[in-house]
Amino acid sequence: MYPENALTDLSGKVVTITGGSRGIGKEIALAFSRCGANVVIASRKKENCTALAEHITETIGTEALPVACHVGQWDQCDELFSTVYDHFGKCDVLINNAGMSPLYKSLTDVSQDLFDKVINVNLRGPFRLSALFGQQMFNDGNGSIINVSSIAAAQPSPHEVPYGAAKAGLHSLTKSFSRAYAPYVRVNCIMPGPFLTDISDAWSDATHESLKHLPLGRGGHPDEVVGAALYFASEASSFTTGAVLKIDGGSIASTS
């Protein structure tokens, strides 16, 4: 029988969100806290994580643990894992949300450093965190991992070549990890289209203008990812694993 309030009752759950201090990750942290979860807000700058954690504790009343973590560095991924399990003794949901897509002038201007940085943050870090958290969740007999990719994975552009490749790799990780830790750990992926976060500040006027031509006529607001994250995190998706869900206002459909 479908559990009552499956989508919105996360009481007692521990949810670790990388890149949780702003943008899409912040909206997920706030919404999951309102649903009763205790959240771990992991991002590069501790002060930003702490500010959001204090806000959550004061206004919502659930526990929020701020942790500084550069997900591109494996030693820091290992540290995040230990901190979460030392503090809470478990993790029910890992959300690999941290990501970045630096601009470059031309493909020949893409340096080895830039390429490595993009792969490290968007792919290498999620691999390490999925291995650590996924294995422990498997041992504990329950867990959900949610990756956040991009439509750049499915609709590669010359302006985001390393990023699109890294996010396509994240789709592959979603499927391989969904098999590695089955049947106890479900692994799914949210594939966002254009969202109006800090990332969109760097977009050209032409890009902003083009959003009007999407089927839904605008870019997404970061809280419009929350429903999908709740679905994958909760028992509502108990028979869903290895799935990629596109949330893009119809943008892929409109250009392909």
Ligand X SMILES: NC(=O)c1ccc[n+]([C@@H]2O[C@H](COP(=O)([O-])OP(=O)(O)OC[C@H]3O[C@@H](n4cnc5c(N)ncnc54)[C@H](O)[C@@H]3O)[C@@H](O)[C@H]2O)c1
Catalogue the active-site residues. 163
Residues 15-54 that bind ligand X (CB under 6 A): 18-19, 21-25, 43-44
Please name every residue paired with 192 in a beta bridge, in sequence order, or none if there are none: 247
The gap from C-alpha 68 to its chain's centroid, in whole angstroms, comes to 16
Closest CB to ligand X among residues 40, 71: 71
Determine whether 3 is exposed, middle or buried from the number of CB atoms within 10 Å of its CB (0-12, 13-18, 19+).
exposed
The half-sphere exposure of 207 on its side-chain side, counting CA atoms within 13 A, is 13
The two structure tokens encoding residue 25: 């990750």
Residue 195 interacts with ligand X (CB under 6 A): yes or no = yes
CA–CA separation, 45 and 19 (whole Å)? 10
The SS3 assignment for 119 reads helix
DSSP state of 234: S
CA–CA separation, 23 and 19 (whole Å)? 8
Q: Which stretch binds ligand X (CB under 6 A): 14-22, 31-39, 128-136, 207-215?
A: 14-22
Helical H runs in 142-225? 161-180, 205-210
**Per-residue interface string for the shown chain with ligand X, residues 110-139, x marking contact by CB under 6 A:** -----------x------------------
**Single residue of 118, 148, 187, 230 touching ligand X by CB under 6 A:** 148
As measured in angstroms, the least distance from the Cβ of 4 to ligand X is 31
CA–CA separation, 207 and 107 (whole Å)? 20
As measured in angstroms, the least distance from the Cβ of 121 to ligand X is 4
Residue bearing tokens 């700058």: 45
**Per-residue interface string for the shown chain with ligand X, residues 48-87, x marking contact by CB under 6 A:** ---------------------xxxx---------------
As measured in angstroms, the least distance from the Cβ of 54 to ligand X is 16
**Single residue of 134, 162, 194, 249 touching ligand X by CB under 6 A:** 194
As measured in angstroms, the least distance from the Cβ of 42 to ligand X is 7
**Per-residue interface string for the shown chain with ligand X, residues 204-223, x marking contact by CB under 6 A:** --------------------
Q: How many residues does the chain have?
A: 256
* Positions in the binding site for ligand X (CB under 6 A): 18-19, 21-25, 43-44, 69-72, 97-100, 121, 148, 150, 192, 194-195, 197-200
